[in-house]
Amino acid sequence: MGMSESFQDNLFDYIFKTILIGDSGVGKSNLLSRFVWDKFRHDSKPTIGVEFAYSNTQIDEKLIKTQIWDTAGQERFRAFTSSYYRGALGALLVYDITQRPTFNNLAKWLMEIRDYGDSDMVIALVGNKIDLGHSREVSREEGQSFAEKEGLCFMETSALENLNVGEAFLELITQIYKVTSKKSL
Q: SS in 3 state form for the chain? A: CHHHHHHHHCCCCEEEEEEEECCCCCCHHHHHHHHHHCCCCCCCCCCCCCEEEEEEEEECCEEEEEEEEECCCCCCCCCCHHHHHCCCCEEEEEEECCCHHHHHCHHHHHHHHHHHCCCCCEEEEEEECHHHHHHCCCCHHHHHHHHHHHCCEEEECECCCCECHHHHHHHHHHHHHHHHHHHCC
Q: Taking CB under 6 A as the rule, does residue 129 contact ligand GDP? A: yes
Binding residue (CB under 6 A) for ligand GDP from 160, 172, 173, 176: 160
Q: Of all residues in this chain, which one has the CB nearest to ligand GDP in the complex?
A: 27
Please say which residue, 90 or 127, places its beta carbon nearer to ligand GDP. 127
Please say which residue, 45 or 136, places its beta carbon nearer to ligand GDP. 45
Rounded to a whole number of angstroms, the minimum distance from the CB of residue 129 to ligand GDP is: 4
Residues numbered 38 to 57 that lie near ligand GDP (CB under 6 A) are: 41-42, 44-45
Rounded to a whole number of angstroms, the minimum distance from the CB of residue 132 to ligand GDP is: 5
Residues numbered 68 to 107 that lie near ligand GDP (CB under 6 A) are: none
Binding site for ligand GDP (CB under 6 A): 24-30, 41-42, 44-45, 128-129, 131-132, 158-160
